[in-house]
Structures are given as structure tokens and as C-alpha cells.
Amino acid sequence: MPRHRMIDGVQIPFTPEEEAARDAEEKAWEDGAPARALEKAQEDRRSAYAVESDPVFFSWQAGETEKQVWLDARAVVKAAHPKPG
């Protein structure tokens, strides 16, 4: 089905060149979906980790209990925000 654009309330069909360009844009968008999904998952994890407020992240000199608490919290974040694919 040919696509149209509206100009001053009038439907004007795409030219073959415009159809091809639009098809290429849609293909590029679909091809980029996995990268966008991964980027979103990474951003979700970054915000959920709140690394800046977690001193244990910076200090692996901490005791085993503190490390385990941090590792457990990290596992919860990873489960809540899984990588796509």
C-alpha cells in the first residue's frame, strides 16, 4: 500500500524515491533496536545501582559481610533489569 503525506490537507502519494528512502529509514530503525534495548538496560541498571552513594563499591577492603550485601543488592538490580536478547 503506497504511503502518503499531508500537505495543506491534501494527501500526496510518496514518489518511488521517497518510498525507498522511507523503507531504508524503517530498516535502519529496526536494525538498531537491539542496540537501543541494550543501552536502555544499561541506563536502567546504572540508575538502580546508585554507585555514587555506595562506598562499598569503591572499597573492596571492606569486610566480607559488606561485600556480600553489595553483591546481593547488585544481583537484585540485575534481575530487575535483565540484558535483552
User: Which has more pLDDT, 72 or 52?
Assistant: 72
First-to-last alpha carbon distance for the chain, in angstroms, is: 32
* Residues whose CB falls within 8 Å of the CB of residue 78, separated by 6 or more in sequence, listed in order: 45
Centre a 10 Å sphere on the Cβ of residue 40 and count the other Cβ atoms it contains: 12
Residue-wise pLDDT for 4-59, tens only, equals: 889 999 999 999 999 999 999 999 999 999 999 999 988 888 888 765 455 555 55
Q: Is 18 helix (H, G, I), strand (E, B) or coil?
A: helix
User: Which has more pLDDT, 62 or 63?
Assistant: 63
- The pLDDT of residue 54 is 58
Look at phi and psi of residue 9 and say left if phi exceeds 0, alpha if psi is from -120 to 50, else beta. left
